Amino acid sequence: MIKIIDTFKEFKEVFQNNLDLSIEEKIGLWDKAYIQISEKEVLDYLHDNN
């Protein structure tokens, strides 16, 4: 089974109050947020499949 990670909600939340940042800052912000989202997804997957 392939699980698609829908991050649109988190994407909107990350940038909701950060629209004034530079492109580089936005990329860095999303990079950090996405890493946290990915780690959570992996842990959830491992928990659900044990």
Q: Tell me whether residue 19 is in a domain.
A: yes
Question: Which of the four pLDDT bands, split at 50, 70 and 90, describes residue 5?
Answer: confident
CB atoms within 10 A of CB 40: 12
Q: Tell me whether residue 15 is in a domain.
A: yes
Domain assignment of residue 12, given as a range:
8-48
Sign of CA dihedral 16, 36, 28, 23: negative
Q: Tell me whether residue 25 is in a domain.
A: yes
Q: What is the pTM of this model?
A: 0.69
Q: Tell me whether residue 37 is in a domain.
A: yes
What pLDDT, on a 0 to 100 scale, did the predictor assign at position 42?
84
Query: Which 8-state DSSP code applies to residue 16?
Result: T
Alpha-helix residue ranges (DSSP H) falling in 1-50 = 8-15, 23-48
Query: Total structural domains in the chain?
Result: 1
Q: Tell me whether residue 14 is in a domain.
A: yes
